[in-house]
Amino acid sequence: MKNLQHLLQLSKNQPDPSSTQPASTNPSNADQPGVDRRNFLRNSALGGLSLGMLFDGQTEKEMEFITQKVKRVSKPSELKITDMRIAVVSGAPMVCPLIRIDTNQGIVGYGEVRDGASPKYAMMLKNRLIGKNPCNVEQIFKIIKKFGSHGRAAGGVCGIEMALWDLAGKAYGVPVYQMLGGRYRDYVRIYADTPEGNSYEEFAQHMKVRKDQGFTFLKMDFGIEMLADQPGMLVGANVWDVKNQWSGNVMSPGGKLVGNYGLTKHPFTRVQVTKKGIDKLVDHVGRVRELVGYEIPLAADHFGHFDVNTAIQIGKAMEPFRLAWLEDMVPWFYTDQWKQITNAIDTPTLTGEDIFLKEEFIKLVDNQAVDLIQPDLASSGGILETKKIGDYAEERGVPMAMHFAGTPISFMANVHCAAATENFVALEHHSVDIPWWENLVTGIEKPIFNKGFVKIPETPGLGVELNEAVVKEHIKKGELYFAPTEDWTKIDSWDRDWS
């Protein structure tokens, strides 16, 4: 102890390196830079030795002392998850379960289960989160990802992952994109889907509205439902409800029971489009392209359920219009069929919004099956996994668009990922026409979407907080605003999947 006191006294007697006064008035030392250097080294050594002896080699305490003036909102190393709750928003325009994760330091993080998915996909994971440090995002993700799957079944895992990044960013006082390695851009480009309307004239008016809103990238839907009930357009469609790709009704309009069109994979419907039908689609797309012009990229989606041969015929017919991509012409898991389509047409192909985790994207990229990939961050694995997907594709020259439908919570998660991923092209926005959508959140510059772009926020975490009053106005009927979820707290299974 005497040695420690002596060292501390010596340290106190050394000149303050931050002082504006000369270090020494001794003229004999004035022209001896070696003396100053020795003093500096001695001071540094004494300081380090003193800290080491003060904290008896306890590295965590030494670091806490050294970094005590670093600006941060909490003590990240001591942050623990204490609760998780759900609030389900409807009319956004879809149904979106929001996640709130609480901590022992009063910081909360927000995430979002993918639109149309059950909030139970998230709640079943609550008991695996309690007591854990949310800043260990990847560690927790590896614990819970086994409970996700493709499509909406990934919603719980991905929503929680978003909330963990929001918490980590708030704890350290930095935006999420910074924790991903920084950003490639200051603004994220947005593309908008456009309602079809009941006629070409109505659809054309919708497209004009999109242009007036400042979008620099557009997407349209055109599919075989436009041809239904018109003589000579389709083959084999009269026993399917082709007007509704998402139908839960197994009965066709004619009353013949052949199956659920919405749940029947594309090659198995055996629906074909005639030359007359393809000409009708060409006329429609050509008029839309003339309205939009060729300066604005125009993508297309929702074609219907038909086989590879029909997909190729339609794809070739669309080549004069230089579409940005043809999306989901067959299900994503038919890698060989995608490669067949891609090799047969010149218009770019794209898929991926229902894929969970990077492995299936790797398969598409390595097989050169599509020209672009399009993960939905709320299904692909969350923020970091989606960046990994983008990075893998980028190294092999494949661009990445991003699919999105939800509230500003998931939207901002996408924005941060897009900012940090080099090969990003554009992010979808499905809620442009919902007047209260941006009011669901506060803490960000409004309007969030402005003339086709979103400015990347500099605030910690995702960069937004929930506007409780507005969220409560749009809670799904029969649901409560972040009600207690104690029934989901107890761990009741052994999750290890190896022996």
Beta carbons within 10 angstroms of residue 119's beta carbon: 23
DSSP string for 292-330: H-SSS-EEEE---S--HHHHHHHHHHTGGG--S-EE-SS
Q: At what angle do helices 308-317 and 335-344 cross, to 10 degrees?
A: 30
Find the helix or strand (DSSP H, E) in which 410 lies: helix 408-419
Beta carbons within 10 angstroms of residue 396's beta carbon: 11
Residue 338 neighbours by CB under 8 Å, 6+ apart: 330, 332, 349, 351, 364, 369, 370
Q: What is the pLDDT of residue 206?
A: 86
Could you list the pLDDT tens digit for every one of the 499 residues in the chain?
A: 444 444 445 444 444 433 333 333 343 344 444 445 445 444 444 444 444 555 566 655 555 555 555 555 679 999 999 999 999 999 999 999 999 999 999 999 999 999 999 999 999 999 999 999 999 999 999 999 999 999 999 999 999 999 999 999 999 999 999 999 999 999 999 999 887 777 778 888 888 889 889 999 999 988 999 999 899 999 999 899 898 887 655 554 545 568 889 899 999 999 999 999 999 999 999 999 998 899 999 999 999 999 999 999 999 999 999 999 999 999 999 999 999 999 999 999 999 999 999 999 999 999 999 999 999 999 999 999 999 999 999 999 999 999 999 999 999 999 999 999 999 999 999 999 999 999 999 999 999 999 999 999 999 999 999 999 999 999 999 999 999 999 888 878 888 888 8
Residue 411 neighbours by CB under 8 Å, 6+ apart: 404, 429, 448
Residue 351's DSSP bridge partners are 373
Beta strands in 304-439 (DSSP E): 326-327, 349-351, 372-373, 400-402, 424-429
Q: What is the pLDDT of residue 63?
A: 53
Q: What is the pLDDT of residue 244?
A: 82
Residue 219's DSSP bridge partners are 193, 299
Task: Report the SS3 class of residue 476.
Answer: coil
Q: What is the pLDDT of residue 268?
A: 96
C-alpha dihedral over 480, 481, 482, 485, to 10 degrees? -10
- Residue 239 is given by DSSP the state T
- Residue 175 is given by DSSP the state B
Do residues 409 and 159 touch, judged by C-beta distance below 8 A? no
Q: What is the pLDDT of residue 56?
A: 65
Nearest CA to 371 among 343, 402, 329?
343
Domains and CATH numbers, the chain: 79-174+484-488 (3.30.390.10), 179-460 (3.20.20.120)
Q: Name the residue type at position 415.
A: V
Burial class (CB in 10 A: 0-12, 13-18, 19+), 269: buried
CA separation, residue 304 to residues 48, 136, 265 (Å)? 69, 42, 10
Burial class (CB in 10 A: 0-12, 13-18, 19+), 261: buried
CA separation, residue 7 to residues 10, 29, 37, 59 (Å)? 5, 23, 19, 20
Token pair recorded at residue 120: 């139970």
Residue 189's DSSP bridge partners are 453
Nearest CA to 421 among 440, 402, 437?
402
Phi and psi at residue 307, to the nearest 5°: -90, 180
Nearest CA to 153 among 451, 421, 375, 354?
354
